[in-house]
Amino acid sequence: MSFSFWWIVGGFVLLIFGIWVRKPSKATRQHRHHDETRPSTKVAKPKGPSLAKQSALRAPVSTGWEIHKFGDNAPAGDWVQWKIGSGWFDVQGLFNRKEAVREFLRLAAQADERGEPFGALLNPEPDNKYDKNAMQVIGILGPREAPTSRVFLGYVPADVAAEVASFPEGMPISVELKKSRIGEVDVILNCAGLWPPAKQRREQGFEKAPSKPVTIVDENALEKLDALIERMNAMPVLTAKQAAARQKMNRIDFIEDDEATIQRKLVEMEADTSPSVLEDPGGIKQYDNDLAKQVEIVSEGLDGWERSGMTPAPYYSYRIAVILSKQKEVEREKAFLAAWCRHFSEVGIGQRYADLVERARKKGAIPAV
């Protein structure tokens, strides 16, 4: 045999030997399979719940909560909710006595469903060492005059209690259970704070009725109004298209406009949107019944309309009409509304503009549709 033949045979033997060496035994395969399926002995230490999750434990969710909306359980008589926030508040401190609170709320819910009396009382706690305004919420079962059960539920929130403390001495106040949510971890109870209606509070001397606004109309104001009417009648009427073109012309172009033009337009824009008479620190509401002031505001609005096509706010024109109506200035009101409608009945957008046009029609200032 040739030398090359033995080289081929030797290579073939080495190949078979290599395959045999790499092939694992059955025992090895079983051992490896066992190792792969066996869980790792290194177990990650579980992290505690995040602050958000801990907080969520106290928040109501769609499942796992026993919810009850209580029917009327206010004391007899006329009551309205406090003007403190929404009038509702969450009773504080329930978590500290949750088992007793849970039991009471379940009994109260049963009483509510059976039509039996239940409710809650307020008990001031002036000797509380933490808050002299502290006020307990006491749950009751049975008639208010002679409850069969009284359970201390918790406290009125401190900020609400502080406002209640500012009520006049002797002011009748009460509380009504509104909604309870009982969960595995926590209990939540919404209540409404109650006091008598405003009329009763005033009749009993606990509150003064707000003073009626004084309408200020004098000869000087009427002369200013007549001048305003004359001006509106003399002004050319702008269509909506013309007003839009004027607004476009006065719009600032920071690329094409030079610095002087930009500054001028900024000043005019500020004047058109913020009449100087509105800058009074006392607020514009104080002038609601001051005819001269309202005329001044409308006049400044007309300046902006003529200059840049910006429609003036209709509120002040409406106030002029109301003041004139109260003063029995029938003809002046009609003249004002007719002059105003010449310019803004078609271009004004919004409910107040529509109200002014409707008022003008009812007063006979413009033809009915």
| Residue pLDDT, tens place only, 21-54 | 555 544 444 444 444 444 443 434 344 444 444 4
- Other C-beta atoms closer than 10 Å to the C-beta of 10 total 10
State mean pLDDT over 6-27.
56
pLDDT of residue 196: 94
pLDDT of residue 258: 65
Tell me whether residue 108 is exposed, middle or buried, using C-beta atoms within 10 angstroms of its C-beta: 0 to 12, 13 to 18, 19 or more: buried
Report whether pLDDT(168) > 70.
Answer: yes
How open is the CA angle 236-242-245, to the nearest 5 degrees? 135
What number of residues does the chain have? 369
pLDDT of residue 52: 43
Residue 283's pLDDT band, with cuts at 50, 70 and 90, is low
pLDDT of residue 26: 47
Give the pLDDT confidence of 85-137 residue by residue, as tens digits: 889 999 999 888 889 999 999 999 999 999 999 999 999 999 999 999 999 99
pLDDT of residue 337: 95
> Which amino acid type is present at position 270?
E
- How far apart CA 108 and CA 68 sit, in angstroms, is 10
- How far apart CA 189 and CA 67 sit, in angstroms, is 10
- How far apart CA 64 and CA 158 sit, in angstroms, is 30
Report whether pLDDT(158) > 90.
Answer: yes
Give the pLDDT confidence of 338-349 residue by residue, as tens digits: 999 999 888 878
* Candidate from 134-138, 161-165, 261-265, 311-315 with smallest mean pLDDT: 261-265
**Higher pLDDT residue, 45 or 73?**
73
Which of 52-66, 176-190, 255-269: highest mean pLDDT? 176-190
> Which amino acid type is present at position 173?
I
**Higher pLDDT residue, 283 or 103?**
103
187-195 vs 174-182, strand pairing mode? antiparallel
Residue percentage of the chain with pLDDT more than 90? 52
Give the pLDDT confidence of 262-281 residue by residue, as tens digits: 566 566 555 545 444 444 44
* Candidate from 56-60, 239-243, 312-316, 330-334 with smallest mean pLDDT: 56-60
* Candidate from 72-81, 207-216, 226-235, 281-290 with smallest mean pLDDT: 281-290
pLDDT of residue 328: 92
* Candidate from 124-138, 183-197, 202-216 with smallest mean pLDDT: 202-216
Q: Read off φ and ψ for residue 332, nearest 5 degrees.
A: -65, -40
What does the mean pLDDT of the chain come to?
80
* Predicted model pTM: 0.47
User: By the 8 A CB rule, do 308 and 246 touch?
Assistant: yes
Tell me whether residue 145 is exposed, middle or buried, using C-beta atoms within 10 angstroms of its C-beta: 0 to 12, 13 to 18, 19 or more: exposed
Give the pLDDT confidence of 217-266 residue by residue, as tens digits: 889 999 999 999 999 999 998 888 888 777 676 665 556 556 666 566 56
What are the percentages of helix, strand and coil residues in the chain, rounded to 5? 50, 15, 40
